Amino acid sequence: MDMILPVYKPVGMTSFDVIRDFKRAVHPDFKIGHGGTLDPFADGVLLLLLGKATKKMNELQALPKTYKATAKLGASSDTLDRTGSVGKQLTAYSLRREQIEAAAKNFVGEIEQEIPDYSATKINGVPRYKLARAGKEMEKKSKLVTIYKLEIEKIEGELVTFVTTVSSGTYIRQLSYDIFKSMGIDSYLESLTRTKIGDYTLSKSHQISEFSSDKWKY
* Residues classed as catalytic: 39
In degrees rounded to 5, what are phi and psi of residue 215? -65, -20
Measured CA distances, 76 to 12, 25, 85, 91, 178 (Å): 21, 40, 8, 12, 12
Query: Strand 43-50 and strand 65-73: pairing?
Result: unpaired
Three-state secondary structure readout of 95-111: CCHHHHHHHHHCCCEEE
Which helix (H) or strand (E) segment holds residue 47: the answer is strand 43-50
Residue 158 burial (CB < 10 Å; 0-12/13-18/19+)?
middle
Backbone CA torsion sign across 153, 112, 131, 136: negative
* Contact by Cβ (8 Å): 147, 172: no
